[in-house]
Amino acid sequence: MKLDLRKIYRFDPIVCAAGDALPKGGDVYYECGSCKDVVSSVSFIAASCSCGNLNGGDGSTAIKTPDQVTPLRGKLK
For the cut 70, the answer to whether the pLDDT of residue 1 exceeds it is no
Q: What is the pLDDT of residues 43-59, one digit of tens each?
A: 999 999 999 999 999 99
pTM above 0.85, yes or no: yes
Q: Domain-by-domain residue ranges, the chain?
A: 5-76
Q: Using the predicted structure, report yes or no on whether residue 19 has a pLDDT greater than 90.
A: no
Mean pLDDT of 21-39: 95
Rounded Cα distance, 8 and 38, in Å: 12
Using CB atoms within 10 A of its CB, is residue 15 exposed (0-12), middle (13-18) or buried (19+)? exposed
Predicted confidence (pLDDT) per residue in 61-76, tens digit: 999 999 899 999 999 9
